[in-house]
Amino acid sequence: MKMLTTLVALAATTALLAPATAQSSSTHTESVRYADLDLARPDGVRELDRRLRTAIENACGPISSADPAGKRAVRACRTSLRNAVSERRNQVLAGIDRPEPIVVALAR
């Protein structure tokens, strides 16, 4: 069975999570598969949203209460990725599918 999934790629600036003086960057990528979900049912949509939320949290990293500046940066990162994924999520729910998984990618 061929998985019907969608691709979302986002390259965020390194300034979001790393100091401006950073010399190198890396990319964190999370794949979100949804072919096993029945997206016509509310529980399938909730599961897709849970998977996307988990991928975004993994890409942006944990929030630490001990670091207020870092906490703001992680929240901004998550908001940015949610906005980037939102359009593709809506396309998936509308039935506009592509053969790739949804990929949440963050350049650091």
Predicted confidence (pLDDT) per residue in 38-92, tens digit: 998 999 999 999 999 999 999 999 998 899 999 999 999 999 999 999 988 998 9
- 18 pLDDT more than 50: no
> Would you state the pLDDT for residue 28?
80
Let me know if residue 74 belongs to a domain.
Answer: yes
2 belongs to a structural domain: no
* Domain annotation covers residue 3: no
Query: What is the number of structural domains in the chain?
Result: 1
Judge whether 31 lies within some domain. yes
Angle at 76 between CA 19 and CA 50, to 5 degrees: 125
Q: Is residue 6 in some structural domain?
A: no
d(CA 48, CA 29): 17
| Domain annotation covers residue 4 | no
Residue-number span of the structural domain to which 28 is assigned: 14-107
Does residue 27 sit within a domain? yes
pTM: 0.69
